Chains A and B, each alone.
Chain A
């Protein structure tokens, strides 16, 4: 944002979008701007937390923490590092994943057993995800992934699995999951026309 305002020889920056402008106002303590941002992003923050955390009450706590974090950290958003939506969803995903991983840490080896217990569940996840994907484009693009790419991406992102856990549940090598995550996301990126 700032770079765009300065102009000059700096590389061309995208014009600040609506969310970016709101974050700028929020960083100055503008609660009305925050209220507007809430309306725009709370649904996605909560939806993502629900996918990862599952438990409704805990998901809601995570969503609440993330939204308050956006208020607290608004001044640290840097438009040169990516869009406001990506920043907020990164906060949301990290927070949700932290919640499930810290719960898992106490149970340590149960992770492995838990993953096995859940092994039919990735179908269930995919199904729910498919059902709720109302953005036609995302659904269409997810369908273009190979099965392994699709499973790797949805288990890691919507389940919050590490790539090791993803490899375990899919019964494939670690290196395979790493590359499938990357290939799958690159294919999604190209299909969705995401640029940075």
Chain B
């Protein structure tokens, strides 16, 4: 294959459309072609946007299964930087290759998950997934990957933790939460934007959820914090009690 041919493979490589040996040949070419490596980096970022656009709502059990397997998975140590013999050799081509680390990680045999998945159950779950919830999942991914996204985490009085993710450029904020204790009766967790202490309602946490996320209604513009309160069924127009947590935004 000529060099010109190889140049045109940036797109195919970025979407994983090359077979193993071709991908290998292209990686070797990229090591010597900074323009190709740069283009692949950009096209891979572009492809990732296509993934965000098809986000789905994961079934409830997935988080538990993943979290439960972490203690059994040995984390790879960082790659130790090779001390350069000559300062000029400091930035070798390999340092700039897009996501070679990903390839290296995938070469190693996969983890035996041994998950028994009840297909029918999954299908039912799938059926119940609302388009709205899928939108939220995608919105969340976009929000968290925004270049200006900020994260603030805190514990709620009464238990559980919450993380506020906000992006000024997207004009969106979300709360990620876990281990939220169940509330008595039909009470719900309500989210608020705080404007200098004035609480503006920004939506409810889906009742009964102990872990997950909620994208706040409205933009964080002008808000200095995000608060969470426990409110009667259906939520309140103004907090009926002290916030369980207020996090900066």
Q: Which A residues contact B (CB, under 8 angstroms)? A: 14-15, 17-19, 21-22, 27, 29, 31-32, 34-36, 38-48, 50-51, 56-57, 60-61, 63-65, 67-69, 71-78, 80-95, 97-98, 129, 132-135, 138-139, 153, 156-158, 160-164, 166, 175, 177-186, 188-189, 192, 194-196
Cβ-based interface call for B178 (8 A): yes
Chain A residues whose CB sits within 8 angstroms of the CB of B75 once the complex forms: 27, 29, 71-72, 74-75
Give complex CA distance A92, B104 in Å.
14
Chain A residues whose CB sits within 8 angstroms of the CB of B119 once the complex forms: 56-57
Which residues in chain B, 73-131, are within 8 Å of chain A measured between CB atoms? 73-79, 95-106, 110-111, 113, 115, 117-119, 122-123, 126, 131
Among the interface residues B15, B48, B117, B151, which one has the most CB atoms of the partner chain A within 10 A? B15
Chain A residues whose CB sits within 8 angstroms of the CB of B41 once the complex forms: 81-82, 86, 196
CB distance from B137 to the nearest CB of A (A): 3
Q: Which B residues contact A (CB, under 8 angstroms)? A: 5, 8-12, 14-19, 38, 41-59, 62-63, 65-67, 69-70, 73-79, 95-106, 110-111, 113, 115, 117-119, 122-123, 126, 131, 134-135, 137-151, 153, 161, 163, 165, 176, 178, 211-213
Given contacts A48-B51, A82-B44, A179-B8, A72 and B115 within 8 Å (CB-CB): no
- Asked if B102 and A196 sit within 8 Å, CB to CB, the answer is no
CB distance from B205 to the nearest CB of A (A): 13
Chain B residues whose CB sits within 8 angstroms of the CB of A175 once the complex forms: 8
From B49, B53, B150, B163, A132 is in contact (CB under 8 Å) with B53
Given contacts A61-B117, A90-B44, A181-B15, A44 and B137 within 8 Å (CB-CB): yes
- Asked if A60 and B117 sit within 8 Å, CB to CB, the answer is yes
- Chain A, Cβ-Cβ closest to B116: A57
- Asked if A34 and B50 sit within 8 Å, CB to CB, the answer is no
- Asked if A67 and B66 sit within 8 Å, CB to CB, the answer is yes
Chain A residues whose CB sits within 8 angstroms of the CB of B95 once the complex forms: 78, 80
- Asked if B104 and A43 sit within 8 Å, CB to CB, the answer is no
- Asked if A196 and B45 sit within 8 Å, CB to CB, the answer is yes
Given contacts A36-B176, A68-B66, A181-B12, A94 and B54 within 8 Å (CB-CB): no
Chain A residues whose CB sits within 8 angstroms of the CB of B153 once the complex forms: 32, 36
23 contacts between A and B (CB under 8 A): A18-B144, A19-B144, A41-B141, A43-B55, A56-B117, A56-B119, A56-B123, A57-B118, A64-B66, A69-B111, A71-B70, A72-B105, A76-B79, A85-B141, A86-B48, A89-B47, A94-B16, A133-B53, A138-B49, A177-B12, A185-B15, A186-B11, A189-B46
Give complex CA distance A88, B147 in Å.
16
- Asked if B98 and A82 sit within 8 Å, CB to CB, the answer is yes
- Asked if A15 and B147 sit within 8 Å, CB to CB, the answer is yes
Given contacts A76-B78, A81-B96, A160-B16, A195 and B42 within 8 Å (CB-CB): yes
- Chain B, Cβ-Cβ closest to A138: B53
Given contacts A46-B56, A87-B99, A189 and B42 within 8 Å (CB-CB): yes
CB distance from B40 to the nearest CB of A (A): 9
From A17, A129, A192, B49 is in contact (CB under 8 Å) with A192
CB distance from A92 to the nearest CB of B (A): 7
Give complex CA distance A196, B148 in Å.
15
From B9, B54, B99, B134, A82 is in contact (CB under 8 Å) with B99
From B44, B110, B135, B145, A84 is in contact (CB under 8 Å) with B145
